[in-house]
C-alpha cells in the first residue's frame, strides 16, 4: 500500500484525531459566550417587529448589539445596519454609491479600487464597469501594501468612490486606510473600507468627517455565520438592496436574525474587553511559529510585510518553493488532521482553479504563488499545536520533495 493511501486510510480510521485548525481568516469557531448567548435565545421565538410584550426583549437585544458593535467600529450605533455578512454589506455599500446616479450616466463617474480587494468588491465593481463606470485598479507594492501616492495620482474630478480594505484576507497586510481617510477630508469622495478581517481583531479609529461605509462579518471574530453589518457615516445615503417590511429603518428589510445578533453581541463585547490581550497573544504565536520554522531548516518565503506595524500578527502567507500548495495542504489534512488554506476561502468555490489575484497583483513569482499556504491563528490556538504544525510541515515537505526527486 502506498504512503498516500495509508495516510488517507489512517486519518479516516482514527475518528478521535485532534483537528488542528489554522484557518481563522476563513472563519472562526463560536466563542463560549457567543454560543451561550445563542442557546439562551433559542426559546425567544417572537418577531422583533411585533408590538406585543413578547417582542420587547428582542428589540432591546438588537439595540444592545448595535451599541456593542459601535464600540468596535468606532461609530454611532444608530448608523449600523445588520446584514447577512460581509458580501451583502460590501454590495450594499457600493450599490448605495452608484444608485445616486442615473444608470445611463455611469460613464461620467470614476471609481478607484485596490487590485487586492475581496471578490465581493471586485466583482460588484466589474459589474458596474460593464454598465459604463470608469474603474481604475491600483496594484500594491511587492510587500502587498497599497502606495497612497500612487492611488492619489489616479484621483480625478469625476472620482466618486475609493474602495480600500483594512486588512488583506490572504496576506494579512494592513492597508493605509486610515491615512487615506484623512487625505479625503473635504473632497466629497466616498470611501468604502472592507473591514471584515479587522473588526473584532484590530483597533479601528473613528471616521465621521467623510462619506464612509465600513463592512464587518460576525463569523470572522467568533460570532456565528449569517450575521454581519455595515456602518455608514452621516454624509452617506443608503439605497437598499432589499425592499419589504421596513426593518433596519427601511434600509435592510427582512425579519432580523435574532439568534445571530445575540451571538454577535456577545462576541463584540468579548472583543472590546480582550482586544489588546488577543493581539499580544497572536504576536506570540506568530513569533513562535517562525522561530520553530527557522529551527526546522524548512526553505520558505513570507509573502507580505516584514514591518510588523503593517502586518496582522495572526496571518502568514508563506511559500515553500518546490512544493505544490494543494498537495501539501491535502497531506496536512489527511495525514495529520491539520487545516490550512490556499488563500481566500471564497475563491475556492471557483470551478476552475486560479492563481491568487492578490499574489499576482504583488508580482510574486509563479513558483511562490503555486507553493503558498495561508496560515492564520486565533486566540484558541495553542503553542503545542504550532509545534505539531511545524513538525508536520517538515515531514510532508520532505516527502513531497523526495517524490519529485529533490531534497529538503
| Positions marked active-site | 346
Q: Whose CA is closest to 361, among 133, 157, 120, 168?
A: 168
Provide the 3-class DSSP secondary structure of residue 298: coil
Q: Which three cell numbers stand for residue 394?
A: 517538515
Cell numbers that stand for 342 in this block:
490556499
Alpha-carbon distances of 232 from 82, 210, 244, 282, 292, rounded to whole Å: 12, 10, 21, 30, 43
Which cell numbers in the block locate residue 347? 475563491
- Sort strands 301-302 and 212-217 into parallel, antiparallel or unpaired: unpaired
CA-based nearest residue to 168, from 368, 358, 361, 375? 358
The burial class, CB within 10 Å (0-12 / 13-18 / 19+), for 92 is: buried
Of 388, 381, 206, residue with least CA distance to 278: 381
Starting from the edge strand earliest in sequence, which strands make up the sheet with 159-163, in order? 80-83, 228-232, 212-217, 190-194, 159-163, 110-114, 134-138
Amino acid at each position: 500500500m502506498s504512503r498516500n493511501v495509508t495516510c488517507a486510510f489512517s486519518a479516516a480510521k482514527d475518528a478521535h484525531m485532534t483537528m488542528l485548525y489554522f484557518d481563522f481568516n476563513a472563519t472562526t469557531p463560536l466563542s463560549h459566550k457567543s454560543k451561550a448567548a445563542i442557546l439562551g435565545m433559542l426559546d425567544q421565538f417572537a418577531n422583533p417587529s411585533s408590538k406585543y410584550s413578547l417582542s420587547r426583549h428582542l428589540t432591546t437585544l438588537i439595540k444592545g448589539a448595535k451599541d456593542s458593535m459601535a464600540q468596535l467600529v468606532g461609530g454611532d450605533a444608530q448608523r449600523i445596519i445588520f446584514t447577512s455578512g460581509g458580501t451583502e454589506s460590501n454590495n450594499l455599500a457600493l450599490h448605495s454609491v452608484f444608485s445616486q446616479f442615473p444608470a445611463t450616466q455611469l460613464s461620467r463617474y470614476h471609481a478607484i479600487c485596490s487590485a487586492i480587494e475581496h471578490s465581493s468588491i471586485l466583482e460588484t465593481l466589474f459589474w458596474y464597469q460593464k454598465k459604463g463606470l470608469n474603474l481604475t485598479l491600483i496594484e500594491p507594492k511587492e510587500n502587498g501594501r497599497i502606495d497612497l501616492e500612487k492611488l492619489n495620482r489616479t484621483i480625478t474630478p469625476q472620482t466618486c468612490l475609493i474602495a480600500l480594505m483594512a486588512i488583506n484576507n490572504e496576506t494579512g497586510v494592513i492597508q493605509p486606510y486610515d491615512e487615506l481617510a484623512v487625505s479625503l477630508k473635504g473632497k466629497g469622495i466616498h470611501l468604502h473600507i472592507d473591514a471584515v478581517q479587522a473588526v473584532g481583531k484590530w483597533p479601528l479609529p473613528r471616521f465621521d468627517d467623510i462619506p464612509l461605509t465600513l463592512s464587518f462579518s460576525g463569523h470572522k471574530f467568533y460570532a456565528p455565520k449569517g450575521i454581519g453589518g455595515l456602518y455608514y457615516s452621516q454624509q452617506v445615503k443608503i439605497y437598499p438592496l432589499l425592499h419589504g417590511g421596513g426593518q433596519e429603518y427601511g434600509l435592510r428589510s427582512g425579519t432580523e436574525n435574532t439568534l445571530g445578533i445575540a451571538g454577535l453581541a456577545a462576541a463584540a463585547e468579548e472583543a472590546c474587553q480582550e482586544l489588546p490581550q488577543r493581539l499580544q497573544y497572536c504576536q506570540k504565536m506568530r513569533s513562535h511559529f517562525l522561530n520553530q520554522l527557522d529551527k526546522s531548516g524548512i526553505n520558505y518565503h513570507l509573502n507580505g510585510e516584514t514591518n510588523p506595524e503593517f502586518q496582522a500578527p495572526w496571518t502568514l502567507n508563506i511559500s515553500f518553493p518546490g512544493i505544490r500548495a494543494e498537495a501539501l495542504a491535502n497531506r496536512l489534512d489527511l495525514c495529520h488532521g491539520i487545516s490550512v488554506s490556499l488563500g481566500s476561502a471564497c475563491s475556492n468555490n471557483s470551478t476552475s482553479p486560479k492563481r491568487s489575484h492578490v499574489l499576482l497583483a504583488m508580482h510574486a513569482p509563479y513558483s511562490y504563488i503555486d507553493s503558498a499556504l495561508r496560515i492564520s491563528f486565533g486566540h484558541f490556538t495553542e503553542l503545542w499545536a504550532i509545534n505539531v504544525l511545524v513538525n508536520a510541515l517538515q515531514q510532508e515537505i520532505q516527502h513531497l520533495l523526495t517524490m519529485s526527486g529533490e531534497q529538503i
